[in-house]
Amino acid sequence: MAHKPLQIYLKVVDTQALDSPGRPRLIPSAKWNLSMPEERGPRFPPWHEKFYLHLNTLGTRPGYRKRGAGSMLVKRRCDLADLSRINAYMDASQAGVLLYQNFGFADRSESRSEEHLIVSMARS
């Protein structure tokens, strides 16, 4: 990804299971964004200006959920953020909230109701 040097892609593969082209099966993958807040655009909440590491995407193949692979990807980036003293944030699905809370992310949603499917979360 030479054209997007501030995007970090991480993955975990199952070397014992192959996908249809014969490659190790992708279990979870994650995309982290290191762009500065002014480069990210207006879709982020107003408090995001001081949070520099953004978890843009994290997904795990359904048959591999609740086995720790997604946690490995979150932990790796959180450990590096802690070493660099960089705060982090994301917009999480309801299903992911407990995972992210385990890594110190807290709900920063401006309003919360049953209808809200997305939870804005941050850690410092």
Q: Which region among 3-12, 49-58, 73-82, 107-116 has the lowest average model confidence (pLDDT)?
A: 107-116
Task: Note the pLDDT of residue 33.
Answer: 86
Give 18-38 pLDDT, tens digit per residue. Answer: 988 899 999 999 998 887 767
Contact 70, 58 (CB under 8 A): yes
Distance between CA atoms of 60 and 116, rounded to whole angstroms?
22
Query: In the prediction, which pLDDT does 94 show?
Result: 87
Q: Where are the domains of the chain?
A: 7-123
| Residue 112 near residue 77 (C-beta atoms within 8 A) | no
59 and 92 in contact (C-beta within 8 Å)?
no
CATH topology of domain 7-123: Aminopeptidase (3.40.630)
